Amino acid sequence: MASLRDTVKEYQEELRDGIAWVAFWKTGRSWNAEDFHLKLGDYLYPEDRSRMEEIKQADPAAVVINGYYSGYLGEDRNLDELTAGVRRHYENGYSNIGEFIEAHDNRLPPELIEEARAAAHAAELPFSEKAYRDGEEPDPYLFDGSMSMEDYERMHRMIEKERSERMEQPILSGYLSNLGKYTEGRPAGEWVSFPTTAEHLKEVFDRIGIDGKNYGELHITEYQSSIAGLAGKLTELESLDELNYLSELLKMQFDDDREKFAAAITYGDHTRDLQDIINLAQNLDCYWLYPSVKTEEDYGHYLIEELDELELPEEAKNYFMYEEYGRDAAINDGGRFIEQGYIYNNRNTFTQWYDGRDVPEEYRVTPQPPVQEKEQADLDASAVQPALAIEQPPVLPIILSSEKPADKMKEITDRLEQGILGIYESDRYADYLRTMSKFHDYSLNNTILIAMQGGNLVKGYKQWEKEFDRHVKPGEKAIKILAPSPFTVKKQVEKIDPNTQKPVFDKDGKPVTEEKEIKIPAFRVVSVFDVSQTEGKELPTLTYELTGNVEQYKDFFAALEKTSPFAMGFEALSGGVKGRCNYEEKRIIINEGMDELQNIKTAIHEIAHATLHDIDKDAPERPDRRTREVQAESVAYAVCQHYGLDTSDYSFGYIAGWSSGKELAELKGSLETIRSTAASLIDTIDGHFAEIQQAQDKEQTTEQAQPEAEAAAPELPKETATIQEKEVQTEPEADTGASSEAPQPPQPEQAAPAAPYYTINEAAAKRAKDANSFSDYKQGSATAEYRHYVDEAVQLAERQKRRVDPMYHEKIDSLLDTYARKLAANMNKGYEIDARVPSILIAGGSNFPTRKKEKQNAARDSNYREWQDIQGLLDKIRSTGMGGISADDPQAVQKLEKKLESLEKSQETMKAVNAYYRKHKTLDGCPHLSPEQLEKLKADMASSWHLGDKPFATWALSNNSAEIRRVKDRIKSLSQQKEIGFVGWEFDGGKVEANTEANRLQIFFEDKPDEATREALKSNGFRWSPKAGAWQRQLTSNAYYAADYVKAIAPLTGEKPTELQRAHIRAQKVAAQEQPAQEQPENYLKAAEQTTEQNYNMIDGQINNTPTAAELEEKAKAGGQISLAEYAEALKAEKKQTEPEKKLSIRAQLKAAKEQTPKKQARQKTQDLERS
């Protein structure tokens, strides 16, 4: 039985601080109490209202009181006064619980609800009391009792009707136009809705006049879509088969998937082209969409209240900065707030289901390709090369007579073999090397085919239009090359154990097989067109030529030295030898006295020797001397051609004689060796040359900044300079704590941390510069700008590391790396966008692509928003280590203990300062604060808003005390949670595990749960984690209460999850009580100390070691912290020692004798000894 005083004692802090409302009631002779908090608007939470109704039913005389609003209570009352105040309220009926419920109940009157329901039904609309009262839309997938079953069913009928009407709307429509008739001034076109059929599309082609002969080209001039944002992502040159493929995929989606797809389109990270969008439609599990989250504040509330990311007490939630917390979380997610809600990429694997080559057969609807010669080739990207000054041979395309793809491949392969033999004629060989220098990234077969057909710079039909704004001339025949066209087949293979890497056998000893998809490499014939077959905008010059400039020569030669596998040097060579490759000494020697151009050509020739022929001389695979010279000379010619060097002195008249009698396979192998070596050297030289240019640009920037800084600092008078030098010298001492009398030795400077740089696309940056400015692009300037931003972020991260605990350093480094990576991607994307459409000053006003420019501007805006989000990561770095302590933190208890120590120290300091002020009536000379703190506190007390007559107000001490109690409770809770733990269970179709390491309650299903189960999980705070492969939420008691409402995961035992957890807690407590305590030997010193120690708080093995008053005063004068209670006890003890022992009075002697007399033990307790 609990007395009123004991019950009030438990809730005395709540009655003093006046934050919570406390209900008191009686059950029999026992007193009970429970605290409650009101929500905004001073209304009861529904669950609190239900609880108060239960209390009212148990005791109609129950009262609900508050230390601030109710009388006879408050922070200045002691326990007995608080007990008397509660009893007064209860016996006089003040603050009765029934009146309290009525005053703080926001439910509407029944007659008003019925009137509103009748009006809704008259309009054939469902009625929801929750929506009518709070303005919140009801959840159609959760019946919460706020509407009748009739209204609930009516709402679902309306949703289904709306969905049916929406499904009847076309997903995507495009206006197909006959391009030939359009250019003739006789436009012909028709709207087509997707998905469609081949028969319908054939009828449309016939009506608009596309016959494949006179008119074969079409384009889509406009799009319309019921999915927001989709039409703006499509261009006029999209494939009809791909549009139909996408529409069929969207048609199969449910409403929630359709909404998520529209949100992902707006999010925009996989919407570069139609291929990307098709894959996006099949990878919606890579995104999380929260439709109800519209703002940063909404996201903060969702994370705290729904996902329990931070455990906040109810009274703190009114003061928590939800908006800032949601903003930081969104920046960390990389998410966006859009019309559909909040969306972000959950970093799940984005699978490339569609490679952009072959649309599945069932989705193809184009009756016949309009122009076979103009299909787009999916080729390896290569840098655009300018037309060479020398005269190019005419383009002579290969005309294939076959119709079937397999026959086309055989025919072009035969032509390829003939072309290889024809290359080794001296004139044709040089042509091949020139072609190879421009297409060094292409395969050997395609290089030969392009050279055979006279190609100089080739691209697909649509590539010329999209990338360079050029068009193929009428009547031109396409150049035929090969493009990869792999396909997958399903095949039964032996199952391999991932741990042992050995086959798995069944119980009969037979190998277990499984079906796997195997990609089979294949090729198809595609069409491209040479630049000479096109007309339109002039091509930009995208390569640099070595012109003989000394500075550029030095940089290029330095790049060659870095590329060379051997050391390079100059020596005098006799006999007209230009260079020599010494394999034994691993050296390349170049003859002295030659011009710069010859030095470079000779160096490339010798580097080719060192790269190809550094093989044991007796090895059978080492080529003969003549072959080695052919290979080295050919590589040098191709590399020099690539960089625009003069190659007029190269001659290949000996090629025909060298190749005579060699097999086709050997000749083809030699060509492949030359091609791969030249391509590797070109890529390596490009990389080293770019690095050298960037380093020089950085040095020039530093050199320019130093003179400016020196010029900006005027020369100071000698006296002033001396003062400043002294200030500079004393600053490190203040930082390190060193004494001015004993100067410390200079500390070595710590190396600056390595910045997490990522690659910047210099080629894209140059294209963007050329498209928008008449000035030349400075090589490496884009990388320099990027590194400048990253360097500033590194400095910010280092400053933050010095401010916070080292445990946060790893998180700061992770955020810094994310910033550098996302910034590089954002800048590269920005350069790509800027290069899409040139400035009107560059392109001119005639035929300016206005619509493309609008799309470019929209892409720029989107990219800028991404840049702003990335800059928000810097705010995240600044706030790391400065916020609250999450229960997910493995070091949460240690951090809380450290925080508790600081709070207790602050409490002692505030009490000591207040005591000093009461005694001296001034703060001057107070030993508990520094001079700076004293001045600040004096100014605070002098201000008009300072309340009270003491430095630290009562509310400050009370709040700090409450925070100490809260932190202690949280430490206790987390410690008990760790000791007792949580329990898991099995259910029909899976299991639930309490993952204490991840601090998550995880649900594992054997199969994918149905939609109703997924909705139930989501509505109860569980979220799917691809990384863990489970549905999960934070591991707290609330997680078990939430699990009670998910019927699909009910334990097989028939109990509720909360009942299982309670049983587990009881079992743990019983086990702890039954554990036998270890017997400890008797400590006689401790027993003696307990009988004689003056201060019981000093039981520490030393008798009477309580500090004296003099010792405490000396400690205070020295600036140390002392306890006023301890000081008072010391004075009291000294006073007792000095006073003579008083003789006891007669009454006192009789009382002492009575206490010493043994009392008779009562047989039975017949009445209560304490009046409640």
Classify residue 954 as exposed, middle or buried by CB count within 10 Å of its CB (0-12, 13-18, 19+): middle
Tallying the residues shown for the chain, one arrives at: 1172
Phi, psi for residue 340 in degrees, rounded to 5: -80, -5
Sheet of strand 341-345, all strands in order from the earlier edge strand to the far edge: 287-290, 341-345, 336-338
Confidence of residue 30 (pLDDT cuts 50, 70, 90): very high
Give the whole-angstrom CA distance, residue 460 versus residue 382.
Answer: 13
List the beta bridge partners of residue 403.
none
Confidence at residue 875, expressed as pLDDT on a 0 to 100 scale: 86
Considering only residues 1049 and 577, tell me which one the structure prediction assigns the higher pLDDT.
Answer: 1049
Residue 1040's closest CA among 1054, 1028, 1053, 1057?
Answer: 1057
Amino acid identity of 688? H
Confidence of residue 727 (pLDDT cuts 50, 70, 90): very low
Phi, psi for residue 960 in degrees, rounded to 5: -65, -40
Lowest mean pLDDT among 632-636, 701-705, 893-897: 701-705
pLDDT digits (tens, 9 = 90+) for 797-808: 998 888 887 877
Confidence at residue 209, expressed as pLDDT on a 0 to 100 scale: 83
> Given the structure tokens 């925009």, which residue do they identify?
268
Residue 1005 contacts residue 989 (beta carbons within 8 Å): yes
Tell me the mean pLDDT in the region 1052-1081: 75
Cis upstream peptide for 313 (omega within 30°): no
- CA 479 to mean position of chain CA atoms: 46
Confidence at residue 883, expressed as pLDDT on a 0 to 100 scale: 58
Confidence at residue 216, expressed as pLDDT on a 0 to 100 scale: 58
Confidence of residue 685 (pLDDT cuts 50, 70, 90): confident
Confidence of residue 383 (pLDDT cuts 50, 70, 90): very low
Confidence at residue 790, expressed as pLDDT on a 0 to 100 scale: 92
Lowest mean pLDDT among 21-25, 417-421, 808-812: 417-421
Considering only residues 1024 and 371, tell me which one the structure prediction assigns the higher pLDDT.
Answer: 1024
Tell me the mean pLDDT in the region 562-567: 88
Q: Is pLDDT at 671 greater than 80 in this prediction? A: no
Helix (H) or strand (E) holding 862: helix 850-879
Tell me the mean pLDDT in the region 1020-1033: 88
Amino acid identity of 41? G
Residue 476's closest CA among 554, 531, 420?
Answer: 531
Confidence of residue 708 (pLDDT cuts 50, 70, 90): very low
- Mean pLDDT taken over the chain: 76
pLDDT digits (tens, 9 = 90+) for 1034-1055: 888 888 989 999 999 999 888 8
Confidence at residue 882, expressed as pLDDT on a 0 to 100 scale: 67
Give the whole-angstrom CA distance, residue 456 versus residue 304.
Answer: 63
Q: Is pLDDT at 1134 greater than 80 in this prediction? A: no
Highest mean pLDDT among 975-989, 1078-1092, 1129-1143: 975-989
Domain residues of the chain, as ranges? 4-103, 110-166, 169-291+340-345, 371-385+392-425+438-535, 550-696, 755-879, 892-977, 981-1074
pLDDT digits (tens, 9 = 90+) for 85-94: 999 999 998 8
Residue 45 contacts residue 29 (beta carbons within 8 Å): no
Residue 336: helix, strand or coil by DSSP?
strand
Residue 428 contacts residue 422 (beta carbons within 8 Å): yes
Confidence at residue 31, expressed as pLDDT on a 0 to 100 scale: 93
Residue 473's closest CA among 528, 532, 526, 527?
Answer: 532
Give the whole-angstrom CA distance, residue 859 versus residue 465.
Answer: 20
Tell me the mean pLDDT in the region 692-699: 74
**Exposure class string for 6-17: b at 16+ Cβ within 10 A, else e:** bbbeebbbbbbb
Strand pairing class (567-571; 587-591): parallel
Residue 522 contacts residue 483 (beta carbons within 8 Å): no
The 3-state secondary structure of 646-665 reads CCCCCCCCCHHHHHCCCCHH
Q: Is pLDDT at 559 greater than 80 in this prediction? A: yes
Give the whole-angstrom CA distance, residue 32 versus residue 30.
Answer: 7
Residue 298: helix, strand or coil by DSSP?
helix
DSSP letter (8 states) at residue 303: I
Kindly indicate whether the domain formed by 169-291+340-345 is annotated with CATH number 3.10.20.480: yes
Compute how many other C-beta atoms are within 10 angstroms of the C-beta atom of residue 445: 19
List the beta bridge partners of residue 80.
none
Residue 33's closest CA among 68, 9, 60, 69?
Answer: 9
Confidence at residue 725, expressed as pLDDT on a 0 to 100 scale: 35
Alpha-carbon Rg for the chain, nearest whole angstrom, is: 42
Residue 874's closest CA among 969, 791, 785?
Answer: 791
Residue 988 contacts residue 1054 (beta carbons within 8 Å): no
Sheet of strand 63-65, all strands in order from the earlier edge strand to the far edge: 30-36, 21-27, 63-65
Confidence of residue 853 (pLDDT cuts 50, 70, 90): confident
Residue 966 contacts residue 313 (beta carbons within 8 Å): yes
Classify residue 772 as exposed, middle or buried by CB count within 10 Å of its CB (0-12, 13-18, 19+): middle
Tell me the mean pLDDT in the region 125-135: 76
Confidence at residue 123, expressed as pLDDT on a 0 to 100 scale: 84
Classify residue 133 as exposed, middle or buried by CB count within 10 Å of its CB (0-12, 13-18, 19+): middle
Nearest 5 degrees, angle CA 1100-CA 1105-CA 1107? 125
- DSSP for 925-974 reads T-TTS-HHHHHHHHHHHHSTT--SSSSS-HHHHHHHHHHHHHHHHHHHHH
Confidence at residue 374, expressed as pLDDT on a 0 to 100 scale: 36
Confidence of residue 469 (pLDDT cuts 50, 70, 90): confident
Q: Is pLDDT at 221 greater than 60 in this prediction? A: yes
Residue 938 contacts residue 946 (beta carbons within 8 Å): no
Lowest mean pLDDT among 236-240, 724-728, 831-835, 1103-1107: 724-728
List the beta bridge partners of residue 31.
26
Lowest mean pLDDT among 448-452, 687-691, 828-832: 448-452
Residue 458: helix, strand or coil by DSSP?
strand
Q: Is pLDDT at 602 greater than 70 in this prediction? A: yes
Compute how many other C-beta atoms are within 10 angstroms of the C-beta atom of residue 324: 15
Query: By percentage, how much of the chain surpasses pLDDT 70?
Result: 72
Amino acid identity of 181? K
pLDDT digits (tens, 9 = 90+) for 166-206: 556 688 999 888 877 766 667 788 899 989 998 888 888 88
- Where does 424-493 have alpha helices with state H? 426-438, 444-452, 461-468
Residue 987 contacts residue 1049 (beta carbons within 8 Å): yes
Give the whole-angstrom CA distance, residue 240 versus residue 76.
Answer: 82
Tell me the mean pLDDT in the region 1095-1121: 62
Sheet of strand 1000-1005, all strands in order from the earlier edge strand to the far edge: 985-987, 990-995, 1000-1005, 1030-1034, 1023-1025
Q: Residue 415 is encoded by which pair of tokens?
A: 């032509």
Residue 912 contacts residue 920 (beta carbons within 8 Å): no
pLDDT digits (tens, 9 = 90+) for 895-919: 788 888 888 888 899 988 888 888 8
- Where does 63-96 have alpha helices with state H? 79-92
- CA 144 to mean position of chain CA atoms: 35
pLDDT digits (tens, 9 = 90+) for 906-962: 889 998 888 888 888 888 888 888 888 888 888 888 887 776 778 888 878 888 888
Amino acid identity of 1131? L
Amino acid identity of 489? V
Cα dihedral 907, 912, 914, 920 in deg (nearest 10)? -170
Q: Greatest CA separation found in the chain?
A: 141
Compute how many other C-beta atoms are within 10 angstroms of the C-beta atom of residue 950: 17
Q: What is the pTM of this model?
A: 0.29
DSSP letter (8 states) at residue 505: B
Considering only residues 808 and 1158, tell me which one the structure prediction assigns the higher pLDDT.
Answer: 808
pLDDT digits (tens, 9 = 90+) for 395-404: 666 666 666 6
Give the whole-angstrom CA distance, residue 411 versus residue 414.
Answer: 5
Lowest mean pLDDT among 462-471, 481-490, 1046-1055, 1095-1104: 1095-1104
Lowest mean pLDDT among 403-412, 511-520, 640-649: 403-412
Q: Is pLDDT at 22 greater than 90 in this prediction? A: yes
Give the whole-angstrom CA distance, residue 744 versus residue 733.
Answer: 8
Q: Is pLDDT at 977 greater than 70 in this prediction? A: no
Query: By percentage, how much of the chain surpasses pLDDT 90?
Result: 11
951 Cβ contact partners less than 8 Å away, ≥ 6 residues apart = 910, 913, 914, 917, 923, 937, 940, 941
Confidence at residue 751, expressed as pLDDT on a 0 to 100 scale: 44
